[in-house]
């Protein structure tokens, strides 16, 4: 096999970084960012592609920050739908907390939406924008 050029290696790194930025899977990396077909899956998997794609999740600073942030959450915004999903003090919502749920390769930040003392709904925090009490005032 011929050695890769610097430009080829740079392209691979760029694809990996872009896939990590959207929290993409190994399949997303090789099919969508790199443009390969399903016939390449086994070869790229054996070459360590899955480990590289999954590693993007285990060192996720944003995920850790969401889980570790103990500030009071006032509302949860869905920017894609352009609406507020949950607001403390409206529709019976009494509290919103972020907590870790075990994922396949790392913990994923989830939201517990309380109505009274009971969790009424849950949602993945990565899908939303959180507004904290001090920011809402």
Domain segments of the chain as ranges:
6-59, 62-136
pLDDT digits (tens, 9 = 90+) for 11-51: 999 998 888 777 778 888 999 899 999 999 999 999 999 88
Each residue's pLDDT tens digit, 53-105? 877 755 556 667 778 888 999 999 988 788 899 999 999 999 999 998 877 66
* Nearest residue to 122 (alpha-carbon basis) of 90, 99, 94: 99
Q: How far apart are CA 52 and CA 45, in angstroms?
A: 10
Q: Angle of helix 49-58 relative to helix 6-21, nearest 10 degrees?
A: 50
Q: What is the dihedral of CA 8, 12, 17, 18, to 10 degrees?
A: 90
**CA distances to 28, 30, 57, 85 from 5, in Å:** 24, 19, 28, 48
């Amino acid at each position: 096999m011929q050695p890769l050029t610097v430009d080829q290696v740079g392209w691979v790194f760029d694809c990996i970084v872009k896939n990590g930025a959207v929290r993409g899977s190994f399949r997303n990396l090789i099919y969508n960012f790199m443009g390969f077909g399903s016939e390449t899956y086994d070869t790229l998997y054996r070459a360590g592609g899955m480990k590289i794609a999954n590693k993007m999740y285990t060192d996720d600073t944003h995920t850790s920050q969401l889980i570790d942030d103990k500030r009071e959450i006032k509302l949860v915004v869905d920017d894609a739908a352009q609406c507020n999903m949950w607001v403390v003090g409206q529709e019976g919502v009494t509290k919103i907390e972020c907590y870790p749920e075990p994922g396949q390769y790392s913990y994923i930040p989830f939201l517990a939406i309380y109505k009274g003392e009971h969790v009424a709904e849950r949602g993945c925090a990565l899908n939303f924008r959180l507004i904290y009490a001090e920011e809402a005032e």
